[in-house]
Structure 1
Amino acid sequence: MTSETRVASVEELETGFQRELGTDRWAAAETAYALAVRHRDGGNWDQSREWVQQCLRLLEGFPSETVEQVATKRLSVGGVQLPTYLHDGVVKNRFGDIV
């Protein structure tokens, strides 16, 4: 995808998401989270909500009983810092009312 430290465009993130969706669903969930953050920070609430929902749908397919199962694999995606752990509770907490 993109460098973990370089700020990627939304288009680059979306392209990476599509590629990851077919090869690495966990990476796709991380990228969906990053896209939700980018859209939220840009004031695009509808797009942010769509990416939050996409992230949550992807996370449903993963176990979440242990810390190891929900630990993110990357520190950031396209310049967006990821939380240490990614599960529905974290996503809902970070996005609050737009979920």
Structure 2
Amino acid sequence: MTNQTRLASTDELESIFQRELATDRWAATETAYALAVRHRDLGDWPASQEWAQQCLRLLEGFPSETEEQVATGRTSVGGVQLPTYLHSGVVEERFGTLG
């Protein structure tokens, strides 16, 4: 796990994402969101959009009827703050309409 007091590089986050994708799809969804934020903050809008879309694709596999179902399991990933609730509305609000 990365040190939560510093921002992880996008390469570090991508490595975390690949591991989580094989073992914990919800954690991978959270990390995809963090990657979208990191790339946006670095000014790489195309990569940010790609990761936001990846996050949305992963979210499609989870139920989202209740707050418990969309509550994030962590407060941050690689130093990137996660929203309390992660669902398509939050992603689209923060990254615009993707498609």
State the TM-score, normalized to the length of structure 1: 0.94
SS at match of 1:68: helix
2:38 maps to amino acid: R
Gaps of 5+ in 2: none
Contact in 2 for aligned 1:32/1:55 (Cα 8 Å): yes
In structure 1, what is the equivalent of residue 68 of structure 2? 68
Find the aligned partners of 2:40 and 2:18 in 1 and give their Cα distance.
20
In structure 1, what is the equivalent of residue 92 of structure 2? 92
Find the aligned partners of 1:69 and 1:3 in 2 and give their Cα distance.
27
In structure 1, what is the equivalent of residue 15 of structure 2? 15
Instruction: For residue 30 of structure 1, report the CA deviation from its aligned partner.
Output: 0.3
Contact in 2 for aligned 1:8/1:78 (Cα 8 Å): yes
Runs of 4+ in 1 over 6 A off after TM superposition: none
**RMSD (CA atoms):** 1.0
Contact in 2 for aligned 1:37/1:80 (Cα 8 Å): yes
Contact in 2 for aligned 1:5/1:76 (Cα 8 Å): no
Aligned residues: 98
In structure 2, what is the equivalent of residue 58 of structure 1? 58
Find the aligned partners of 1:27 and 1:2 in 2 and give their Cα distance.
14
1:62 maps to amino acid: F
SS at match of 1:86: coil
State the TM-score, normalized to the length of structure 2: 0.94
State the identity %. 77
Gaps of 5+ in 1: none
Instruction: For residue 2 of structure 1, report the CA deviation from its aligned partner.
Output: 1.9
